[in-house]
Amino acid sequence: MGTCLGSKSCFLDICKKLRNTIDFSQKIESPKVHVYTCLSSRLEELLNHTLVFNMEETLLKSSSWFPFFMLVAFEGGGLLRAFLLLVLYPLICVVGEEWKLNIMVFVCFVGVKRSALKTIGRTVLPKFFLEDVGYQGFEVLTRFRIRVGVSNFPRVMVEAFLQEYLGIGTIVGREIKGFYLVRKVEKEKWNYLPRDKYPKPLIFHDGRLAFFPTPMASLAMLIWLPFGAILCITRIIIPIFLPFKISLPILAFLGTSGLTSKNCSQTILNSSTNQNRNSKGKIYVCNHKTLLDPIYISYACEVPLTALAYSISRFSQVLAPIKTVILTRDKEKDAKVMQKMLSKGSVVVCPEGTTCRERYLLRFSPLFAEMTDDIVPVALEVKVSMFYGTTASGIKALDPIFFLLNPYPYYYVAILENLPKSHTCGSGGMSNIDVANYVQAEIAKSLGYTCTVLTRKDKYMMLAGNTGD
């Protein structure tokens, strides 16, 4: 596909559009330029002015465009396109700004569907833009009532970020060179915008890359991939053919580390004792981080559990070292499956129904609360350095592979106290929804997460434009 990177005719067209939206009289032509040093004393006056700001120069802390284009290249075109962009990086460094932008846009955009670019601009880039926002620049932005965002990036890359997260109504792409209405600040002295200052909470985002792909970081990724592929295959094979007690130390040696909470052993002891007395097993209820959640919980308990999972691929089911049963999202059918599996032993279920990367918990489906009163909440935390092991718009069968491609994938497993009988449906007389909300709150409290009422459908509608079915 082609793209217009800037011409006088484009510039005049944009100016005409802006005049229809904003009264530029005095705002741009007058010498009343407000700088950082006078903002605190003239807040009321600033509210009546229009701020036309360049996103890269006055908002982002990073001075390089390359990482953001690398995200587009990798997520939109794959590994080959990302490799080509990295190979051209030395050339990009020595040419002028106009040529630099043209080269990166050509490599990243040509042949990629516009719908795919819009998806990347809406689901992948906002996370990295937010994490690169300078706090000082953001404070200046909030002082003005009318704000016009100007960017050197193509509009498709920045539109969703500026509109949805910063509330910028008027956005101008590469056609305008930019206005500098504020004094340039030494960016190395800036602080990154804290998460609690984000104008809109960052709950959902997509894409495989978990790092900011600077040239050196991108090169390190490409060098790592051959070794990572061998390591990934080894990490998959070992737990399939070796018992837990043998595979665990080997996997730890291979960099697949994890930590189990100190209360776990007592919980496991209670679990095994109660299971000998009762015919039914327990339900381990966890928040959902990756497809490997049930496996790590089994490792923590040192016994193979049965995983009850939604929307898992046949490929992942075959590779799983524990028994995996697929749920259908049909309440009656799933209830029968759960009861059948519980009659044979303990099971693991993720009632969120989908993964959430950030420190939030989605609404818990209450079906598990109706199955038994023996409920054990499990809090999970995952850390990756290179690739995310989840996706909403990509190929789900590759999720565990991407997770295991990380040099040091890390899992934190905290098996909490058994649910009190007073907080169950049977013995306590609570509704299934109240039980689900209580378990959600207990897991959130353990991890320091925030509970939400968002659902799997909310996530997929935002990231993939469908309901995830």
pLDDT, residue 47, reads 64
Q: What single-letter amino acid sits at 62?
A: S
- Write out the two tokens for 405: 């491609």
* Contact (CB, 8 A) for 320 and 237: no
Structural domains in the chain plus CATH codes? 8-24+42-183+191-197 (no CATH), 215-463 (3.40.1130)
pLDDT, residue 4, reads 35
Alpha-carbon gap, residue 53 to 396, rounded angstroms: 40
pTM above the 0.85 mark? no
Q: What single-letter amino acid sits at 347?
A: V
Q: What single-letter amino acid sits at 353?
A: G
Residues 6+ apart with CB under 8 A from 163: 169, 171
pLDDT, residue 46, reads 59
pLDDT, residue 183, reads 52
Residues 6+ apart with CB under 8 A from 319: 236, 240, 400
**What is the chain's percent helix, strand, coil content, to nearest 5?**
50, 10, 40
pLDDT, residue 361, reads 97
Quote the DSSP letter at residue 192. Answer: B
Alpha-carbon gap, residue 432 to 430, rounded angstroms: 6
pLDDT along the chain (469 residues), means of 10: 36 42 35 36 61 87 92 94 95 91 91 90 94 90 85 91 89 56 62 90 94 95 96 93 87 86 50 51 95 91 88 81 90 93 94 94 95 95 95 90 95 93 91 96 96 94 83
pLDDT, residue 346, reads 94
Closest by CA position to 200, among listed 307, 53, 89, 358: 358
Alpha-carbon gap, residue 1 to 202, rounded angstroms: 31
Task: Count the neighbouring beta carbons within 10 Å of the beta carbon of residue 78.
Answer: 10
pLDDT, residue 40, reads 42
Alpha-carbon gap, residue 103 to 94, rounded angstroms: 12
Report how far apart, in Å, the C-alpha atoms of 451 and of each of 147, 445, 454 are: 33, 9, 9
pLDDT, residue 147, reads 86
pLDDT, residue 10, reads 41
Alpha-carbon gap, residue 127 to 210, rounded angstroms: 10
- Write out the two tokens for 17: 């559009």
pLDDT, residue 316, reads 82
Alpha-carbon gap, residue 153 to 105, rounded angstroms: 9
